[in-house]
Structure formats: structure tokens, C-alpha cells
Structure 1
Amino acid sequence: MTPLPTAQLAVLGAVGLVLGWLVKPISVALAGQAWLVSWTQPAVLLFVALAVGATARATQQQRRGKGASLEAHQGVNRLALGRATAYVGALVAGVYGGYAVAWLGIPSDYAHRRLLWSGLAALAAAGVVGCGVLLERACRIVEDDDED
């Protein structure tokens, strides 16, 4: 299995950016008000990033022989978790980033709050991507050339 392609993460981030930029006009048209972003969204994303990062660190230590050994099925599960969190995190980072961009230049207290919390959520989601990639890398098995 090849390492996680950076281009795929960039494409998902770009798709999320466009979707996030479209959220504001669509939510205003459908619900009559813009999507509310508060401190909870970046806090939850930060918690997810910390949990995945801790799992990556534990996996790396288990692969080095420190602590309990890593079973094969655990490694595969953690690899899938790392890839999934990286993919979803890239999309979510793009959505929150696009939503933040949609509020740029609007002189309103509500706009500034949405811009702040959306930007922080985008940064926290980028942390989820980074930790997902670290977890995926921690599960990598180095192939020996002498085993032919």
C-alpha cells in the first residue's frame, strides 16, 4: 500500500473550500440565516486531533517495541483510522476555511465571530489531517530487501 497521496488531500481541501464558500448563501436562502459557528466546533476538532495524535504516538511506540506489541489487525485498523481522519479532516478544513472566506470584508460583529470560529475550526481540522497522516505513517511496515 502506498503512502497517503498529498494531492488527494489537496483536492479534498479545495472541494471543501468551494462547498464552505457556498454554505453561507445556501443557508441564508433555505433557513433565512447563516450557519452558526461557535467555540464548540473548533474544540471538538481539536479533541479529535489530540486523540488521533495520541493514537499515532502509541502506535509508534508499540512498533518500536516499547509497551505491548501491536497485533496485525490493530495495525490495519489504525491505518484505516489514520487515512479516514486525514481524508475527512481535509474536507472539513476546506469547508470551514471556505465558510471563513465567505465572511471576509463584512463589517459586522456577527461576521467577525463567524470568521474567527470558522478559521479556528479550519486550523483544528488541519491538525486532524496532520495527526491522521502521522498515524498512517506510524503503521507503515518497512520491507526488507533480503527476504526474496
Structure 2
Amino acid sequence: MSADPSGEPPAGRLRPTTAGALTLWGVVGLVGGWALRPLAEQVRDTAPIVTWAQPLALLLVAAILGATAFFTWRTLHVHEERLEPQQAVNRLVLARACALVGALVAGGYLGYALSWVGVDTELGSQRVWRSVIAGLAGIAIVVTSLLLERACRVKTEEHES
């Protein structure tokens, strides 16, 4: 098969999630999270509180994605079994969506944490640290999503020889 001059992958193949897309969603989240505190204070006279539920829920999502990536990789590459086409597509779509949303969430929480840096209030430092932990959990979602996306890759006939 000859390569397409436009650089597009052959029909029926998907490219991995790009760093550019993840960066774009992360920056959008960063700006949104940074803008949330002043907007909330202007509209509601108080900024949102970050409880432990948010970072723990994000860590749970990252753990589920990591386990799914491990079991998918093991099924395809160790046991050399095949997934049903619908299962493979579902896992790939899940991985891509979670990677993009994870970047948005990570940026949002890290932006919210940045908006509290230097603000001396009763709950300011608590909001910073919990937001940073939630942002790191968002990054964990991105990483495990990319691992799941990578686990969904299968060898093609042209790469086996």
C-alpha cells in the first residue's frame, strides 16, 4: 500500500491522541479554573470549596482506567486473544474521551489552585492543596487513558513480517 500524500492514516486506522490536543484542553481548563474564583466571588460572594471527594473521585477514575488498560493489554498482548470489535472501539473511545477530559479537569483544578496563591484567607491554603491534589489526579487520568489507548493497539499484517 502506498502512503497517502496528505499524511492521513489509511482508512480504518486512528492516530493516537496528540500532545497538542491534550495541551489545548489543559490550557482551556487552566484559564477556566483561574477565572472561576474571581467570577464566583463576584456573582456569589464566595468561591467554591474543594473537598476531599473531588480528588478521591478522580483517583478512582484513574484507578479504573489503569485496571482496564492492564487487562486490555494482557488480553491482547500476553494471552494474544482478540476483543470483540465493539469492545475494542468502546475502550478506545473511553480512553480518548477520558484523556481529553482529564487534561481539562487537571488544568481546571491547577488553575483554581493558582488563583489562590498569595491570597490570605481562612480556607485559601486548604483550597490550594486540595486543588493541586485534584489536578494531579486529573493528570493520572490522562496517563492511564493514554495507557489504555496504547493497550488497544494491535499488530497489523504489514507490521508482523
Q: Same fold (TM over 0.5)?
A: yes
CA offsets per residue over residues 26-45 of structure 1, 9 Å max, x none? 11111110011011100000
Q: 1:71 aligns with which of 84, 93, 96?
A: 84
Aligned residue type for 2:113: A
SS of 2:123's equivalent? Answer: helix
Larger radius of gyration: 2
Instruction: Report what 2:8 is aligned to.
Output: none
Q: Is the 8 A contact 2:76 2:154 kept in 1?
A: no
Paired residues for 1:101-120 under 5 Å: 101-120=114-133
CA offsets per residue over residues 4-33 of structure 1, 9 Å max, x none? 101110111011100000000111111110
TM score, norm. by length of structure 1: 0.94
Instruction: Report what 2:138 is aligned to.
Output: 125
Gaps of 5+ in 2: 1-13
SS of 2:58's equivalent? Answer: helix
Instruction: Report what 2:113 is aligned to.
Output: 100
Q: Percent identity?
A: 42
The reply to whether residue 89 of structure 1 matches residue 102 of structure 2 is yes
Moved more, 17-26 or 134-143: 134-143
Q: Distance in 2 between matches of 1:94 and 1:46?
A: 15
Q: Distance in 1 between matches of 2:98 and 2:81?
A: 24
Q: 1:17 aligns with which of 20, 30, 39?
A: 30
More helix by share: 1
The reply to whether residue 143 of structure 1 matches residue 156 of structure 2 is yes
CA offsets per residue over residues 99-142 of structure 1, 9 Å max, x none? 00000012233100000100000000100000111111111123
Relative to 1, partners in 2 of residues 1:85 and 1:60: Cα closer, same or farther, differing over 3 Å? Answer: same
Gaps of 5+ in 1: none
The reply to whether residue 49 of structure 1 matches residue 51 of structure 2 is no
* Corresponding pairs, count: 147
Q: 1:32 aligns with which of 45, 52, 59?
A: 45
SS of 1:34's equivalent? Answer: coil
Q: Distance in 2 between matches of 1:15 and 1:53?
A: 25
Q: CA deviation at 1:3?
A: 1.0
Moved more, 31-40 or 136-145: 136-145
